[in-house]
Amino acid sequence: MLYLLLKAGISAVIIVAVSEIAKRSPGFGALIASLPLVSVLGMIWLWRDTHDRARMAAHAGATFWYVLPSLPMFLLIAAMLNRGAPFWLALASGCLLTVALYLAMTWVGPRFGLQL
């Protein structure tokens, strides 16, 4: 139970730090948010829990391919906000786009030999 609380605490600290830094410097906050901290922490926790090289390799490879369909979300949100759209509409649209692209990736990826 302590291990689970530690994982949750570290993850929460990162999220709070990003939001606080972004208040002062949006660019620096974005830089920190763009770092693959969640992925790295996830890999650390997975490795600690399993020590399974094959599982870790599969996880790292799949993470790469799932990052790609998530990237357009940020461009859509920025474009909508710059054109005056309400924040919640821009965020919801970006999330819906990401879900659609994830679904497309899970459908198209295996047809090209990707193990997702």
pLDDT in tens, 56-84: 999 999 999 999 999 999 999 999 999 99
pLDDT in tens, 80-108: 999 999 999 999 999 999 999 999 999 99
What Rg, from alpha-carbon coordinates, does the chain have?
A: 17
Termini Cα distance of the chain: 30
- Domain residue extents for the chain: 52-116
